[in-house]
Structure 1
Amino acid sequence: MDEFEPFYRLAVSAAIGLTVGIERHWREREAAPGQRTAGIRTFALIGMLGGAAGLIEAALPSGGTPGVVVAAVFVAFAGIFAFYKWREAQAEFDFSVTTVVAAMVTYLFGALAVVGDLRLAAAGAVTLTAILASREALHHFIERMSWVELRSAIILLAMSFVILPLLPEAPFGPFGGISLRAVWSLAILLAAISYAGYIAIRVLGSGRGELAAGAAAGLVSSTALTLGNARQAANGGDARRLAAGAAVAGGVSYVRTAVLAIALVPALASLLLPPLVIGALAMAAGAAWLMRGPIVAQQDMEPIGNPFEIAGVLKVALFLAAIGFAVRAASSVFGSAGIIAASALAGIADVDAATVTVTGLLSLDPVIGATAIIAAVAANTVAKAIYALIIGGGRFARLFGAISAVTLMLGAAAFWLARALVG
């Protein structure tokens, strides 16, 4: 630590308190002077108090008990602040403990800015301020949340942070095997996409929600979105809107693949941009065609069911894992007719994996590389149409299959023309 760094860190401690204090003072801005326990100045001093305690801690000779000064000052400060806040609560009949906790956290972030990670302390202060400022929005959100929505959120969090870390990452079985963690991660992705789509429909209304969910899912996994929408269609969901959402996800995934491939190998742009952009536009046009006509208002919709059913999510995740295993087994037993066939096989399960693999071959001819990536995209598009037929069936499969077929034909024509122009 150079001679100027302690001054800088102490200034950040004060800025942390000032940031939180602005929100707390604004919250009680109509109170007369002397009628609030802590405002902008008090919180700035609280941040400085934490920083000063950290400076004293750092100045003590080594060998003592670490953290004793910061802890002692914290206990004294918390007791004094809580006493004054209790007096204010008695006078105003306001028994919220939020300001007390905010002051305690501000002190700790102030100390962390001096003796620990400066960036973490600053980020924590901004996050704390955002949480405090979001009181009305959070309260309104909780008031509108149903038990089914809360239960689904808890299940999703448990899947992500309780069960997932306990699962082994090593695959079991031949041909690369199946990883339990990979399958569970896919189930989490499917559940998260379903939940995001559910929230989008609740917030934006039917029609707009499916499109918003599809656009977001296209950046993560258009296959997962297609499977989720197919499952909803099989359970009686609106096939037209669900197919439109799947089409939007497919179009966004085309754009994502183009950006990824061209960022890795810019020489592929002239061959990949025409078919992928045409494909994205075809998917978008198909979604617009499906969404033509008035959109049903939120109050006219039928009640929305569960955000996701864990049993259905696991079935779809296992189905995708089985598809991936079958592809690896077929490739291992029968081989592949070159990089294009291998890329098409890999694209059935994951276009990004095929794209990264192909672009990593530095000596690969651009025409062969672009053909391999287009083969992976085409195989993935066909696979999603087949998934839609197997899982969704009926009108959903017909609508999404028709859009996929038109997209493939237009994309193939654009790629053929691009190859002819490149020579």
Structure 2
Amino acid sequence: MDTVEAFQRLGVALAVGLLVGIERGWQERSVRAGGRTAGIRTFALIGLLGGLTGYLQPYLGTAFTVALLLLFGAIFTLFKRREAEEEEDYSVTGVVAAILVFVLGAAAVVADPAVAAAAGVVTAGFLAARNRLHGFLKRLTWIELRSALVLLAMTVVALPLLPDRPIDPWGGLNLRTIWLMTVMIATISYAGYIAVRVAGSERGILFAGAAGGLASSTALTVAFANFARSAPENGRQLAAGAIIAGALSLARVLVITFVLVPSLSFKLAASLVPALLALLAVSFWTTRHGERGRKTPELQMNNPFDLLVVLQFGALLGAVTWVSKVLVDYAGPAMLYVVAAISGTMDLDAIALSTARLAGGSLALDTAGTAILIAVIVNLFTKVGLAASGAGASTFTVRLAGATLFCIGCGLAGYMLLMPLVPAPVPT
């Protein structure tokens, strides 16, 4: 390399050391002068030392680089040990960070400086996130950790073993596809679950409703209905939360279909977007013009990464997928409407996924879109029924029922006015 490039690479090595040194120095800013092993100056020099070691490697050999790294690591560990004994802090993070800065400094010269710089930023980020990471571990429950590990094991270990072909004579069950879609839905649901777990429902009913819409709008509606029965003064605010959860359940359908069949998503958008906007408008209008609720319900949501929950949804998805495929092939596409109506009473995700898989192949896009819309309407009315059974003819139920009718009306208007404007998919 020429002189200019050598200076540039050494500059990257120095910058990596400075960045990590700034973070280390800030973490130990209250320590007396001379009381810490390494700060901003030391880490900057470590990065530069690693860079110079990499620069000299072609002249002195790889053995020199390895020997200097071992010597540096031993000396730094010795000083860090004396500091640890004085402060009774036996964390090895500082030693690992110093060695990593040395290695990245050398890598900036002998390898790709962009990779070394990126690794330096990641290193500083992890070091700076110490309190947040430890706080996350304190809030993490054993059930959540166990469920996530089991799911990851099944995905990484079992997924490659699942056959990527139909396993039944009717061609309706592809285990790998069903499992992948199950994991996708569980991941979306987990976002809402984490939002409620980390932020807490005390952030407000609307926040809880939005997070619940990502996890399970049906479960949230039942929870809010039960709370409205014991706290009727919060009926308007609780209804607003349940309404916004319903809006996000429609958004989930749009996202799922867009990922699988974008042309189907565009057709559904003509109806679902006006319906979604109607629910959002009613929710915020209810919140703005209603009395502020004095209490927020404590939500108890199941972990969507729990193995039993995942397997239950996978079984439901497999059943809906198989029944849909068989009925469409042997009884005609119109029978899918019956499946959609029945499935809509339980879950929207399963029918949306199974119908999207058939759309554009054995099932026309118009038929697929109609089936999903039927499931949406049934699901919306099912939530009103659950609200009535939990809260009776209360403000909560009346508000939710009114918002549902307004939503369906806007969706039908969009279907009649906007559907003709949706362009037909281009044949591939």
2:352–2:372 contact (8 Å) kept in structure 1:
no
Cα drift, residue 237 of structure 1 = 8.0
What one-letter code is carried by the residue in structure 1 that aligns with 2:20? V
Could you give the per-residue CA deviations for residues 303-331 of structure 1, whole angstroms, max 9, x where no partner exists?
Answer: 84763553234212311221122212222
Cα drift, residue 355 of structure 1 = 10
Q: Give the 3-state SS of the residue equivalent to 2:173 in structure 1.
A: coil
What one-letter code is carried by the residue in structure 1 that aligns with 2:104? F
Cα drift, residue 196 of structure 1 = 3.7
1:244–1:290 contact (8 Å) kept in structure 2:
no
Q: Which residue, out of 193, 197, 203, partners 2:192?
A: 197
Cα drift, residue 247 of structure 1 = 0.8
Q: Which residue, out of 91, 98, 101, partners 2:96?
A: 101
Counterpart in the other structure of 2:13: 13
Counterpart in the other structure of 1:319: 316
What one-letter code is carried by the residue in structure 2 that aligns with 1:154? L
- When structure 1 is superposed on structure 2, of 8-17 and 108-117 the one drifting more is 108-117
What is the alpha-carbon distance in structure 2 between the residues aligned to residue 100 and residue 27 of structure 1? 15
What is the alpha-carbon distance in structure 1 between the residues aligned to residue 369 and residue 125 of structure 2? 44
Cα drift, residue 190 of structure 1 = 5.0
Q: Give the 3-state SS of the residue equivalent to 1:162 in structure 2.
A: helix
- When structure 1 is superposed on structure 2, of 394-403 and 182-191 the one drifting more is 394-403
Cα drift, residue 391 of structure 1 = 10
Q: 1:187 to 1:392 in 2, by over 3 A?
A: farther
What is the alpha-carbon distance in structure 1 between the residues aligned to residue 181 and residue 391 of structure 2? 23
What one-letter code is carried by the residue in structure 2 that aligns with 1:125? G
Cα drift, residue 80 of structure 1 = 1.1
Structure 2: unaligned runs, 5 residues or longer: 230-237, 424-428
Counterpart in the other structure of 1:153: 144
Cα drift, residue 118 of structure 1 = 4.4
- When structure 1 is superposed on structure 2, of 395-404 and 83-92 the one drifting more is 395-404
Cα drift, residue 97 of structure 1 = 2.6
What is the alpha-carbon distance in structure 2 between the residues aligned to residue 350 and residue 303 of structure 1? 26
Could you give the per-residue CA deviations for residues 119-159 of structure 1, whole angstroms, max 9, x where no partner exists?
Answer: 4433332222222222333344444x2xxx42133224313
Q: Give the 3-state SS of the residue equivalent to 1:38 in structure 2.
A: coil
What is the alpha-carbon distance in structure 2 between the residues aligned to residue 409 and residue 336 of structure 1? 26
Q: Give the 3-state SS of the residue equivalent to 1:35 in structure 2.
A: coil
TM-score, scaled to structure 1: 0.70
Q: 1:3 to 1:24 in 2, by over 3 A?
A: same
Structure 1: unaligned runs, 5 residues or longer: 62-66, 218-223, 361-367
Counterpart in the other structure of 2:245: 246
For the pair 1:80 / 2:75, whether they are aligned, the reply is: yes
1:169–1:180 contact (8 Å) kept in structure 2:
yes
Counterpart in the other structure of 2:235: none
Could you give the per-residue CA deviations for residues 16-50 of structure 1, whole angstroms, max 9, x where no partner exists?
Answer: 22211111111222444433211112212222333
1:385–1:400 contact (8 Å) kept in structure 2:
no
Q: Give the 3-state SS of the residue equivalent to 1:176 in structure 2.
A: coil
Q: Give the 3-state SS of the residue equivalent to 2:29 in structure 1.
A: coil
Counterpart in the other structure of 1:173: 168
Q: 1:245 to 1:126 in 2, by over 3 A?
A: farther
What is the alpha-carbon distance in structure 1 between the residues aligned to residue 320 and residue 385 of structure 2? 13
2:104–2:120 contact (8 Å) kept in structure 1:
yes
For the pair 1:42 / 2:42, whether they are aligned, the reply is: yes
What is the alpha-carbon distance in structure 1 between the residues aligned to residue 391 and residue 169 of structure 2? 36
2:24–2:40 contact (8 Å) kept in structure 1:
yes
For the pair 1:163 / 2:163, whether they are aligned, the reply is: no
TM-score, scaled to structure 2: 0.69
Could you give the per-residue CA deviations for residues 273-328 of structure 1, whole angstroms, max 9, x where no partner exists?
Answer: 66443122123245457876544656xx5584763553234212311221122212
What is the alpha-carbon distance in structure 1 between the residues aligned to residue 80 and residue 100 of structure 2? 15
What one-letter code is carried by the residue in structure 2 that aligns with 1:21? G
Cα drift, residue 82 of structure 1 = 0.9
What one-letter code is carried by the residue in structure 2 that aligns with 1:249? L
What is the alpha-carbon distance in structure 1 between the residues aligned to residue 421 and residue 299 of structure 2? 53
What is the alpha-carbon distance in structure 1 between the residues aligned to residue 404 and residue 201 of structure 2? 26
Could you give the per-residue CA deviations for residues 200-233 of structure 1, whole angstroms, max 9, x where no partner exists?
Answer: 2241425244334256x3xxxxxx7346657x75
Q: Give the 3-state SS of the residue equivalent to 2:216 in structure 1.
A: helix
What one-letter code is carried by the residue in structure 2 that aligns with 1:250? S
What is the alpha-carbon distance in structure 2 between the residues aligned to residue 112 and residue 393 of structure 1? 66
Cα drift, residue 402 of structure 1 = 7.0
What is the alpha-carbon distance in structure 1 between the residues aligned to residue 295 and residue 420 of structure 2? 49
What is the alpha-carbon distance in structure 2 between the residues aligned to residue 376 and residue 4 of structure 1? 66
For the pair 1:28 / 2:28, whether they are aligned, the reply is: yes
- When structure 1 is superposed on structure 2, of 235-244 and 32-41 the one drifting more is 235-244
What is the alpha-carbon distance in structure 1 between the residues aligned to residue 12 and residue 369 of structure 2? 52
Cα drift, residue 84 of structure 1 = 1.3
Q: Percent identity?
A: 30
Q: Give the 3-state SS of the residue equivalent to 2:141 in structure 1.
A: helix
Counterpart in the other structure of 1:210: 208
What is the alpha-carbon distance in structure 2 between the residues aligned to residue 356 and residue 176 of structure 1? 11
What one-letter code is carried by the residue in structure 1 that aligns with 2:192? G
Matches within 5 A, 1:5-404: 5-57=5-57, 70-116=65-111, 118-143=113-138, 145=139, 149-167=140-158, 168-170=161-163, 171=165, 172-189=167-184, 191-202=186-197, 203-206=199-202, 207-214=205-212, 217=214, 225-226=216-217, 229=220, 233=223, 243-244=242-243, 246-253=245-252, 256=255, 275-285=271-281, 287-288=283-284, 293-295=291-293, 297=295, 302=298, 304=300, 307-308=303-304, 309-336=306-333, 349-350=351-352, 354=356, 375=370, 378-382=373-377, 384-385=379-380, 394-395=389-390
What one-letter code is carried by the residue in structure 1 that aligns with 2:277? L
What is the alpha-carbon distance in structure 2 between the residues aligned to residue 109 and residue 352 of structure 1? 49
What is the alpha-carbon distance in structure 2 between the residues aligned to residue 244 and residue 278 of structure 1? 14
What one-letter code is carried by the residue in structure 2 that aligns with 1:77? F
